[in-house]
Amino acid sequence: MNILVLNCGSSSLKYRLISMPDELELAAGEAQRIGPKTAEPARIVHKRDKRESIHVVPMSSHAGAFDEIMKLLAKDAALIPGAVGHRVVHGGALFSRPAVITRQVIEDLESIQGLAPLHNPPATNLIKACQARYPRLPQVAVFDTAFHSTIPEHARTYALPKLLRDDLGIRKYGFHGTSHQYVVEEAARRLGRRLDSFNAVSCHLGSGGASLCAVVNGESADNTMGYCPLQGLVMSTRCGDLDPAVTLRLMIEAGGSAEAVEAMLNKSSGVLGLSGMSGDIRDVF
């Protein structure tokens, strides 16, 4: 069976088509600079048979990027997927393990998309696009928050009233879990160390988002991201750690519009806000 694996980042869509169970990569690539225009045009870097080709195409959304990727795969009859696996950033309290995509799962994903406004909406739209193109194709979602379910209570609990924490589900979830889990397991393997006694700091430095993970005995003990992927390091267009009073001030300046402040902190800050020219560090240096 050929499995198409999709990794929906905030401004990119990575893909791999893998023949299972022999784990043979048939094709792979990445749609880059999805969304608002940057200094360089949007493009797809496509790899097949150890050859790489670059396709410059406009991609205003992840669903549009998926359509362009599928056009490339459709040129070869051998590249027909038998199932699709999706990386989804936030599972909230609803998903602690992989889930087969159903109508109910999509509704549940839509109900928690506010927890990751840069990632979950495009990921959900991507799942819908896959269903529209391949209605009989099985799809599975794998959640980035799952690896961080081992973060202890004292590290994941915010100093807020218990009623608010419980009713609103406000706590540290942690993100980039699939990446951190792979890095930890691979690092332990390469170093010849037992995973259950492996301690390290894992670094995920992506084009859109970035986080660090404290690993104790092979498990996540803490993550620089928290309730949502906005917390932590300075990122491409996200501000990272910020004094809560700054957010309150921005709310006043925005006339009480939470949507405007959320868009500012998620899409106009970070490297873009600091440089005033681009959210892509390659354009800055």
Tokens of 240: 């990272």
Type and span of the H or E element at 262: helix 258-267
Length of the chain: 285
DSSP string, 82-148: SEEEEEES--TTT-SS-EE--HHHHHHHHHTGGGSTTTHHHHHHHHHHHHHH-TTS-EEEEETTGGG
Question: Active-site residue 22, yes or no?
Answer: no
Q: Which of 49, 144, 196, 280 is catalytic?
A: 144
Beta pairing class for 99-100 and 13-19: unpaired
Active site amino acids? 144
